[in-house]
DNA sequence: ATTGTCCTCAACTCATTGGTTGAATACAAC
DNA sequence: GTTGTATTCAACCAATGAGTTGAGGACAAT
């Protein structure tokens, strides 16, 4: 089980929680302390601290140390593996669909040409 | 809490599992029955059935009914909300970064021009 | 040095999840 | 109708996850 696999596990899992997605959205505007991040939510401060930790372990954010504050910063590049993974298979399925579609179009044309003759099996 | 939020929850959570990502990758090649999907894995058949159910509830796959088989089919469009969500905030952070960068560049130039005079506050 | 602020760590609860096995269902084929 | 095949459902278990509260650590300010 490769490391990139585990990294994808963690990144996708991190974004599966609405609170954590909210935190990411907030951080896209500016860096923020845990206190600032917690403010809009109706849960304990510590719960938000945990959420930030999950995001950090997924590599999606980093924390620097400024006196007693730990400003949280969005790690933009860390989102790429997810979109790349999704887009890869989405595109593959899309291409298969187009091939199938083309095949069906050809078959439909064949229907007009030959199929009536072939239906005489009954 | 909107429905789209819950849908994102489920979609991201569904992709957070390597087995389920493997199933999606397999389905990008062609539709498959649960039995075919289970074959490469070293877990029980029922476990894979459950995984497929999770993918289905996330809207990422659909199952049709062909006799006793339930061929599983990838629902390509269902992946878009995820990439759109990620790209939205990724892009927002990117723009902020560029603005900050430009600001820093200006400030650096100001340093050369005016800053020495302004430092006379002490 | 004491106090207040910002934050993390530890221990606990409760719900969810991924896995198991053992039925039960649905259909084809004989 | 019996058998075989493909699949789901139900009950259970162990591990993980999101939440809580209570304590402790690091630093600034007085």
pLDDT digits (tens, 9 = 90+) for A52-97: 999 999 999 999 876 566 799 999 999 999 999 999 999 999 998 8
Residue count of chain A = 122
Chain B residue numbers with beta carbons less than 8 Å from the beta carbon of A15 are 8, 12, 85-86
Residue A119: per-residue pLDDT: 35
At A108, the pLDDT band (50, 70, 90 cuts) reads low
Residues of chain B with pLDDT under 70: 1, 67-68, 108-122
B81 compared with A110, residue with greater pLDDT: B81
Please give the pLDDT value at position B66. Answer: 74
pLDDT, mean over chain A = 86
- CA dist A38 and A113 (Å) reads 68
**Could you list the protein residues whose CB lies below 7 A from any atom in strand D?**
A 13, 16-17, 19, 43-44, 46-47, 50-51, 54, 65, 67-68; B 33-36, 45-46, 49, 52-53, 63, 68-71
Residue ranges covered by each domain of chain B? 3-75, 80-113
Nearest CA to CA, how far is B99 from chain A (Å)?
11
Residue pointed to by tokens 């923020």: A32
Q: Which residue of B has its CA nearest to A6?
A: B18
Residue B37, Cβ density class (10 Å: 0-12 exposed, 13-18 middle, ≥19 buried):
buried
B105 CA to centre of own chain: 34
pLDDT of residue A47: 98
Alpha-carbon Rg for chain A in angstroms: 25
pLDDT in tens, B82-115: 999 999 999 999 998 888 778 877 776 655 444 4
Cβ neighbours for B46, distance < 8 A, ≥ 6 positions apart: none
| Predicted local confidence at residue B102, as pLDDT | 83
Q: What percent of chain A has pLDDT over 70?
A: 84
CB B94 within 8 A of CB B56: no
Displacement of CA B87 from its chain's centroid (Å): 10
* Residue of A15, A25, A29 with shortest CB distance to B12: A15
Instruction: Sort out which chain B residues have CB atoms less than 8 A from A18's CB and list them.
Output: 1, 5, 8-9
Q: Hey, what CATH topology would domain A3-75 get?
A: Arc Repressor Mutant, subunit A (1.10.10)
Confidence tier at A107 by pLDDT (50, 70, 90): confident
Q: Are B62 and B27 in contact (CB under 8 A)?
A: no
pLDDT of residue B105: 78
């Amino acid at each position: 089980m490769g490391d990139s696999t585990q990294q994808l596990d963690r990144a996708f899992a991190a974004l599966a929680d609405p609170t954590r997605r909210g935190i990411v959205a907030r951080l896209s505007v500016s860096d923020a302390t845990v206190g600032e991040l917690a403010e809009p939510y109706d849960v304990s401060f510590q719960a938000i601290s945990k959420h930030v930790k999950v995001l950090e372990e997924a590599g999606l954010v980093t924390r620097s140390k400024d006196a007693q504050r730990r400003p949280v910063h969005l790690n933009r590049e860390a989102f790429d593996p997810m979109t790349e993974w999704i887009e890869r298979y989405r595109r593959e399925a899309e291409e298969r669909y187009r091939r199938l579609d083309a095949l069906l179009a050809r078959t439909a044309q064949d229907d007009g040409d030959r199929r009536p003759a072939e239906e005489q099996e009954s």
